[in-house]
Amino acid sequence: MPYIRPLNDLRNKTTDIAELAHSQMEPVFITKNGYADLVVMSIDTYEDSIARLEVYDKLAKSQMEVLSEARLLPLDEVFEKYRQRYSGQ
């Protein structure tokens, strides 16, 4: 369930809104004159959202490569490249 607070609460009860955002790990929607205006969230929630978006972006790019019939490397070749890179060889 979304957490919705009026703009006056942001001004007068900032600590309460911050505690809500941190404890629930969900964004808090701030309304102005009854309409959505802002979103407040903890830095952890923000970083998780950004990381998730980056993963989705990479998955979408990978899917587009597969669909475009680009030359794909065999899995054993990919693993061998990573072994060489990270084993210092």
pLDDT digits (tens, 9 = 90+) for 72-89: 788 899 899 889 888 865
Cα–Cα dist 76/8, whole Å: 59
Structural domain boundaries enclosing 68 = 45-87
At a CB cut-off of 8 Å and minimum separation 6, what does 4 contact?
28, 29, 30, 31
Domain shared by 36 and 24, yes or no: yes
pLDDT score, position 3: 95
Domain shared by 50 and 30, yes or no: no
Segments of the chain assigned E as strands: 3-6, 28-32, 35-40
Q: What is the CATH number of the domain that holds 10?
A: 3.40.1620.10
The residues of the chain scoring below 50 in pLDDT are: none
pTM of the predicted protein model: 0.69
Cα–Cα dist 73/80, whole Å: 11
Cα–Cα dist 30/21, whole Å: 12
